[in-house]
């Protein structure tokens, strides 16, 4: 580590430790060298960053990660990432899709997790991973899609296996994933199951392998997939607890890691409810209620769904400003 990097690390630690900018300013910094980097002058932040602006406009523009020690900062849907690492676009048993989005970044623990899962995939009968969105180089909110994926601990993995050849750059943009569903979930009384022509035991083995990794907090899948997994597992059902039904997630599954030990200000979600989640909760998810749109009664106005305003820079943890202004690596 160079002296500058050490200082940057120290500055980051101060901020991450929950100190406000004002407090951070009162902490005497080493005086033998002037602390020049504007990125670490808290007063500078306030004067240069428009804190009321949507954070996605700023994080969406960053092409490279912050040259700082790795840190997942804040919550999965309200945070950012320091020291991001890229998942290489090709490995022996993975390929990154949609390269133009530049979202193949994560905390090193996520990169490590994906590489390990990819390496185990062929033995499970799964040729390799097609990796979708991870995070932006410095995490944060995105210009399009995803409320989460902000702190470098979320990754989407396609439910389509990797072909036995390299996709071209163009193919990585244009190839579509395949839905695992039998039919339209939104029709009353629909059969909310996976399509046996598309779903296979190797899908189950791959998701089980992912869920059995101790670093995983949750895996989000369509309720139809959760049902298939509940039926698949006949022995140790512990891992099913981490596989959570959610809307969407029938073209890909979404892996979320727990906060890594180096990320003091990362906010974990509460652990999933006890049990395998194959009982009443799943029954509800497979019923009409979560899916079939409710028609307004005659004379009743349709319910207005209020859109949440976009997160501003001010809404994110303060240290995200430091991360935004830091030099790139």
* Residue ranges that bind Zn ion, judged by CB under 5 A: 156, 254
User: CB of residue 253 vs Zn ion: minimum separation in angstroms?
Assistant: 8
User: CB of residue 167 vs Zn ion: minimum separation in angstroms?
Assistant: 20
In the structure encoding, which two tokens stand for residue 165, read together? Answer: 């050849």
Q: Distance between CA atoms of 162 and 164, rounded to whole angstroms?
A: 7
Complex with Zn ion: residue 244 or 254, whichever CB lies closer? 254
User: CB of residue 72 vs Zn ion: minimum separation in angstroms?
Assistant: 16
Q: Distance between CA atoms of 181 and 193, rounded to whole angstroms?
A: 6
User: CB of residue 218 vs Zn ion: minimum separation in angstroms?
Assistant: 11
Complex with Zn ion: residue 232 or 251, whichever CB lies closer? 251
First vs last C-alpha separation in the chain: 14
User: CB of residue 257 vs Zn ion: minimum separation in angstroms?
Assistant: 12
Closest residue to Zn ion, based on beta-carbon distance:
254
Q: Distance between CA atoms of 227 and 283, rounded to whole angstroms?
A: 9
Residue 302: left if φ>0, alpha if ψ -120 to 50, beta else—which one? beta
Complex with Zn ion: residue 40 or 158, whichever CB lies closer? 158
Q: Distance between CA atoms of 101 and 113, rounded to whole angstroms?
A: 21
User: CB of residue 248 vs Zn ion: minimum separation in angstroms?
Assistant: 8
Complex with Zn ion: residue 254 or 258, whichever CB lies closer? 254
In order of 54, 221, 301, 302, the CA distances from 305 in angstroms are 21, 24, 12, 9
Complex with Zn ion: residue 14 or 76, whichever CB lies closer? 76
Residue of 115, 109, 108 lying closest to 94 (CA atoms): 115
Residue of 120, 126, 150 lying closest to 137 (CA atoms): 150
Complex with Zn ion: residue 142 or 228, whichever CB lies closer? 142
Tokens 């700023």, located at residue:
58
In the structure encoding, which two tokens stand for residue 273, read together? Answer: 């409810």
Q: Distance between CA atoms of 56 and 59, rounded to whole angstroms?
A: 5
Complex with Zn ion: residue 109 or 156, whichever CB lies closer? 156
Q: Distance between CA atoms of 209 and 233, rounded to whole angstroms?
A: 12
User: CB of residue 225 vs Zn ion: minimum separation in angstroms?
Assistant: 14
């Amino acid at each position: 580590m160079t002296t500058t990097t050490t200082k940057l690390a120290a500055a980051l630690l101060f901020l991450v430790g929950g100190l406000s900018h004002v407090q951070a300013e009162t902490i005497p910094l080493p005086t033998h060298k002037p602390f020049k980097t504007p990125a670490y002058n808290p007063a500078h932040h306030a004067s240069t960053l428009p804190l009321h602006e949507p954070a996605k406009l700023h994080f969406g523009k960053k092409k490279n990660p912050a040259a700082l020690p790795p840190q997942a900062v804040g919550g999965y849907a309200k945070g950012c990432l320091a020291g991001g690492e890229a998942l290489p676009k090709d490995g022996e048993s993975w390929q990154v899709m949609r390269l133009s989005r530049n979202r193949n970044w994560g905390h090193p623990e996520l990169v490590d997790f994906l590489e390990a899962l990819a390496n185990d995939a062929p033995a499970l009968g799964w040729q390799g991973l097609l990796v979708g969105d991870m995070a932006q180089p410095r995490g944060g909110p995105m210009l399009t899609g995803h409320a989460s994926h902000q702190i470098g601990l979320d990754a989407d993995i396609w439910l389509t296996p990797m072909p036995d050849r390299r996709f071209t750059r163009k193919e990585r943009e244009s190839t579509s994933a395949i839905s695992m569903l039998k039919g339209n979930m939104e029709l009353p009384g629909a059969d909310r199951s996976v399509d046996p022509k598309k779903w296979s035991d190797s899908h189950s083995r791959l998701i089980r392998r992912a869920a059995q990794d101790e670093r995983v907090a949750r895996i989000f899948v369509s309720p139809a997939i959760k049902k298939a997994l509940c039926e698949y597992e006949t022995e140790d059902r512990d891992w099913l607890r981490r596989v959570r039904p959610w809307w969407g997630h029938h073209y890909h599954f979404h892996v979320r890691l727990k906060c890594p030990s180096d990320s003091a200000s990362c906010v974990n979600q509460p652990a999933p409810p006890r049990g395998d989640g194959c009982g009443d909760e799943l029954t509800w998810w497979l019923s009409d209620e979560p899916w079939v749109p409710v028609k307004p009664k005659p004379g009743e106005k349709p319910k207005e769904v209020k859109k949440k305003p976009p997160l501003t820079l001010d809404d994110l943890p303060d240290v995200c400003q430091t991360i935004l202004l830091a030099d790139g690596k």
